[in-house]
Structure 1
Amino acid sequence: METTTKRQALIKAINEQLELAYDDTLQEILSLLKIRKQEDESDERDFEEGLKDIAENGTLTWLEHQQKTA
């Protein structure tokens, strides 16, 4: 419950500041949020691909990796 209250207070404070912001600032904020979303989606795809690779090819121990790259 405390987390919800803190979140609501944070959203309220952000909304108050957004109302005062210039249009170009709002556009920048929107662009940053879109970039963040794209990065998150990319990270999720990379993670899923990594899991698929592990399932198909197995994994190496750190020692095996060191020996192969030495």
Structure 2
Amino acid sequence: MQASVGDQLLVHGRTVGHEDKVAKIVEVLGSEGTPPYRVRFDDGHEALVSPGPDSVVRHKEHGGTPQ
């Protein structure tokens, strides 16, 4: 997984009733765009994440297409 500042991280809900979460990547801490990432959620909460297989990056320069 690779991302840049400004991309979105989409974390799929893991169980029934849990919605997907979308966060904006505000800092890339790994080398060459790799995790971990500092992200900001819509409610303003920031977190340091190392995304798992239930996550995808929506690249800003590619029109938001998940990869």
Per the TM superposition, whether the score is higher than 0.5 is: no
Tell me which of the two structures has the higher relative contact order, counting C-alpha pairs closer than 8 angstroms and 6 or more residues apart.
Answer: 2
Which is helix-richer, 1 or 2? Answer: 1
Which is strand-richer, 1 or 2? Answer: 2
Higher radius of gyration, 1 or 2? 1
Structure 1 length as normaliser, TM-score? 0.18
Structure 2 length as normaliser, TM-score? 0.19
